[in-house]
Amino acid sequence: MSGLVLIGAQWGDEGKGKITNYLAERADMVVRFQGGANAGHTVAVGDRTVVFHLLPSGISRPRATCVIGPGVVLDPLGLVAEIDTVSAQGIAVGRNLLVDVGAHLVLPYHKAVEAAEEAARGAGAIGTTHRGIGPAYADRCTREGIRAGELARFDRFRELFEQNAARRNELLVKFHGAPPVDVAAELARLEAAAARIAPHLADTPPLVRSALSEGKKVLFEGAQGSLLDVAFGTYPFVTSSHTTAAGVAAGAGVPPSAAGDVVGVAKAYTTRVGAGPFPTEAEGPAAELIRERGAERGATTGRPRRCGWFDAVAVRHSAELSGMGRIVLTKLDVLDAFERIPVCVAYEIDGRRVERFPRSTDDVARARPIFEDAPGWKRSTRDARATRDLPAAALEYVRRIERLCGVPVAAVSVGAAAHAIVEFQSTLP
């Protein structure tokens, strides 16, 4: 099987960009299959740090064809700005990028509506990124969306945009008391972006299926994390797409049987951005130390991330949902400073011990973590490149996570550098 699926096992920000970039050295094709510019995948390219939002994280690898699939919601203005940004950093974006004609567009009125709706929620705000992702997916479901292929027929795009913008402006002004979108100004910006994107447009699913049938290595790159899945996450504090491996078939246009092995990515601790329950959230000096050592600020929003300890209940849930055969554990080096490291092995909910992640978000919010302490190693792991370089206590911490989650750890990441990775015997493909 030449396909490989890379999925976040927590609430996002697990380091999928770095691992995608690492695996893309061996890939012929990298496919983004869901989400949009709400993703923030940070990658070290030489001595530079690059953040990808819409571009697949393999774009820095010249041999890989990078695909933005039909399951992605695409911000055309954001994509052009991102291409310009990475080009200025020495990453060429040309014929190696394909944008599916069926990807739905995120347009300025989506962002305006999302911002107005979040403001109206007040204290009950979900904590969205204000990137227009939810409204764009909503338009897709109500059959009011505009797809990327229309960018190549701008007269038709203009007509659709004007119709949709008129309805959204009425909602913004009359219901939310918010300013309307400037239709003429936005169309001028979008026309310039359309001319840039049109050469990249393609019917991508047949190309992806052909690559798989020819035995080429195809890497499917997930965005966000499994616990933010619209169906299986902590709803309503979730994203608007399917972030588990189940999203690959619909989001890339391939048969489920063709997607291949599933690798989960999890931090050696846990973080979350925005609102929603977080059973293992730490407070005080421990949380601040994790945040400082892990540089835990959102790559998309810049917001400080909520930080806490590894939650084996949650990661085991994610592994079962996606059929993860292996896990890559990232940011192990962040824990170098701790004498003792709590690991959540179960929850207590209303006096009961619970070892399965609850489907009810209210239950997750009431869950109290049952921790077992693991010994720390108080020694830097950042120069480790082989198993023998890791302290014995760090290796035992990894093995403990394997036992608790029921999935072997294939590798650990020990720093931001592209090759700051230790692969184990259950090596990555």
Amino acid at 142: T
Q: What is the pLDDT of residue 1?
A: 47
Query: For 215-237, what is each residue's pLDDT tens digit?
Result: 999 999 999 999 999 999 999 99
Q: Please give the full DSSP string across 43-103, using - where no structure is assigned.
A: EEETTEEEEESSS-GGGGSTT-EEEE-TTBEE-HHHHHHHHHHHHHTT---STTEEEETTP
What mean pLDDT comes out for the span 195-210?
98
CATH number 3.90.170.10 given to 264-423: yes
Is residue 418 pLDDT above 70, yes or no? yes
Q: Mean of the pLDDT values across residues 273-295?
A: 95
Percent of the chain with pLDDT over 70: 98
**What does pLDDT average to over the chain?**
93
Residues acting as catalytic residues: 13, 41
Residue 209: which of 259, 283, 142 has the closest Cα? 259
The pLDDT of 359-376, averaged and rounded, is 97
The whole-angstrom distance between residue 201's C-alpha and the CA centroid of its chain comes to 23
Domain 3-101+200-262 belongs in CATH node 3.20.10.10: no
Name the residue ranges covered by the structural domains of the chain.
3-101+200-262, 105-197, 264-423
147 secondary structure, DSSP code? B
Over residues 341-366, the pLDDT tens digits come to 999 999 999 999 999 999 999 999 99
Q: What CATH number should be reported for the domain whose range is 105-197?
A: 1.10.300.10
Rounded to an integer, the average pLDDT of 40-66 is: 87
Asked whether this chain's domains 3-101+200-262 and 105-197 adopt the same fold, the reply is no
Q: pLDDT at position 408, please?
A: 95
pLDDT tops 80 at residue 425: no
**Nearby residues of 136 by Cβ (< 8 Å), 6 or more positions away:** 36, 73, 104, 105, 106, 107, 110, 145, 240
pTM of the predicted structure, to 2 decimals: 0.93
